[in-house]
Structure 1
Amino acid sequence: MPEKPAITSSELGTLWLTYQEKTMILRLLEYFIEKADDEKAKDIMASLYEEIDNYVSIIAETFQNEGAVIPVGFTAQDVNKEVPKLYDNGFDIMFIRLLKEISMGLHSLNITMAYREDIIMIFKELTALTQKYYNLCTQYLLEKGLLVRSPYVSMPKSVEFVKDNNYLGGFPINPFSEKRTLNTVEVAHIHHSIESNIFGIQMITGFAQCANEGEVKDYFNDGAELAKSIVKELSEILLQDGIQIPQASGGNATRSTLAPFSEKMMMYCTSLFCSFSMGSGSLGTAFSLRNDLPAKTTIFMKDIFEYAHRGAKIMIKNGWMEEPPQMEERNQMMN
């Protein structure tokens, strides 16, 4: 059998990012499992923990075999299981579900940047694992009445084709043009964005009330306000067409002000959610045909990018941002 080729820069980079994300999820699960008061939720999280922990070990072993340093990621120092519950009423499974949603996109993308069969298999198996637990979390939340389905619609009885350019109409192009009713693809992306941002408000509110650093606390408070403004504007778009707005019924922060997670981990988690939000916004922009929708989404993405950039500066200032593996400085080496 021929020897395995060395892993490529893209394989190293995607494995490094996966290690960061998975070690963060392990720390979150350790806390949520400790505080879980629902046995079914606890079983889901305990099973997920065991499976993720196995892949963290596989990735660490891959780094070791390639002669690469194992990243720090997130360790026992980043979680405190002894503090009171920071969130209540299903937040743990809501959190895991959204993290699995992020992971699905990441693993699918990572497969396209892998070449060695064993690396492809890692991401292929992680994709299947992620889909499995995303479904388990979704069904759990639906059973508990903690997840709002997107709006229902009358089923189409005939196939229609766009007849003229008025279908694309919207304020940015012509302020006097009449906006058509939203189509189901546009509603899907708007509903998803509202759902994600409502959860983001709950998550970052908890982070804000237990953060110790004043600059970090202010950052989280500003993030909650940004998410609220996005929810408000998208909700108004739905209301204009008489469409039901999704309302979350659980997952609120408790009164605890003791941090279960390090500020480094809370900042990283917020950064991950910002990246996810920008990626989702890009898809929403690509598939929305009414001109006012991409224009509004683009503004949201700009605001989210600026917010994420501010967060990166805070992380660098405090020494919380682990640097990804770097390419060789060829110009410097030649000089």
Structure 2
Amino acid sequence: MTDHNIRLSSPEIGGLWGTYIQEKMTVCLLKYFLHHIKDGEIKTILQKALDISIAHLKQISEIFSEENIPLPHGFSDEDIDLSAPPLFHDPFALSFIYTMSRMGMINHAFVTSNIARHDILDFFTKALNQSSELYQDSTTLMLSKGIYDRPPMISYPKKVEYIEKQSYINGVIGKKRPLNAVELTEVFFNVERNYFSILLCLGLLQVVKDKEIKGFIKNGKEISEKQIKFFNELLIKEDLLGTVPVSMEVTDSTTSPFSEKLIVALFHFLNSIDITLIGHALSLSMRTDLATHYSKFIGEILIYAKDGFNIMVDRKWLEQPPQAPNRKELEEW
């Protein structure tokens, strides 16, 4: 099958364009972690992830070249300082692979479901599988090292039951039912995701000197702390243990290994995926107290993300995605 006469659709262009920038960022971060890593097992996974990201960049470059589409600038070695002391201990690098592979599975699945040209479909299908492999590799290694915090266990159901009362959704007034398995899953992974964000913020707050960006990171840390507090208290009220971080993975370095542009862009990416995941949790929640708080958290993150967007625009760090022509302007020409 040949596709040389089939133009790329907007989802295909947008998916490739966004993936290219994300992979450029990932390459910078992986090079940094590889430079400092001591643990041989973690190093093997980091190198595998780096090889995958570099291959993705090469493939997208070739596709865009064939289609005469300019490549975004993204990031480069100038955005990392390998001479800076390590900012995180080795386990954080493994947490990074684990977190980014989960997000990769989500992003690639979204893009894959919106494209049709078979070479682009092949690319994203393979990328999705590779993210799944990295997730499996990182999870297996985390389990072996005793640093994977498993979600809460519940009793196996003994029979099929149907919801009989509309009060099942009640979570604000009156007696609340226990969390179901789907809700518990979303609560747990929300807490886990925010612990990763707090560790990231703790490290970056030590090294960032710019007052505006430092304030931006501090606000992000407070949002994550607020979510963790709410969900941990919820778990404790349900007689389920709240989750706790396994170890402190931040060193005492005060020298930044990353450019300010890379740091704010990373937060921009994490905000977008967080909104997606909380929206997903909201869609699955059948208790009104959860739905109310999810909606509130989405609003807070949207406001916070706008602050990051403004920083990037003001400093000319944010590249504009490919967009459709303004037909009204063309008609007036």
TM-score (normalizing by structure 1): 0.96
2:159 is aligned to: 158
1:301 is aligned to: 298
Structure 1: state its 5+ residue gaps: none
Letter in 2 for 1:146: I
Which of 254, 259, 277 is the equivalent residue of 1:257? 254
Task: Tell me how large the CA RMSD over aligned residues is.
Answer: 1.2
Letter in 2 for 1:244: L
Provide the rounded CA distance (Å) in 2 between the counterparts of 1:254 and 1:56: 31
Provide the rounded CA distance (Å) in 2 between the counterparts of 1:284 and 1:151: 17
Deviation at 1:157, TM superposition (A): 1.4
1:54 is aligned to: 55
- 1:65 matched to 2:30? The reply is no
**How do residues 51-200 of structure 1 correspond to structure 2 at under 5 angstroms?**
51-171=52-172, 175=173, 177-200=174-197
Letter in 2 for 1:125: K
Provide the rounded CA distance (Å) in 1 between the counterparts of 2:3 and 2:136: 40
2:37 is aligned to: 36
Provide the rounded CA distance (Å) in 1 between the counterparts of 2:117 and 2:156: 46
SS at match of 1:313: helix
Deviations 1:279-309 (A, max 9, x none): 1111111111111111111101111111011
Letter in 1 for 2:303: E
SS at match of 1:62: helix
Letter in 1 for 2:171: G
Of all paired residues, the percent bearing the same amino acid is 28
Deviations 1:251-290 (A, max 9, x none): 5221111111111111111111111111111111111111
From the superposition, tell whether residues 37 and 150 of structure 1 become closer, same or farther in structure 2 (CA, over 3 Å).
same
Deviations 1:233-265 (A, max 9, x none): 111111111101111213522111111111111
- 1:288 matched to 2:285? The reply is yes
2:313 is aligned to: 316
Deviations 1:61-83 (A, max 9, x none): 11111111111111111111111
Which of 222, 229, 232 is the equivalent residue of 1:232? 229
Which of 265, 275, 285 is the equivalent residue of 1:268? 265
Contact 2:11 2:114 in 1 (8 A): yes
Letter in 2 for 1:219: F
Letter in 2 for 1:248: P
TM-score (normalizing by structure 2): 0.97
Alignment size in residue pairs: 331
Letter in 2 for 1:123: F
- 1:21 matched to 2:18? The reply is no
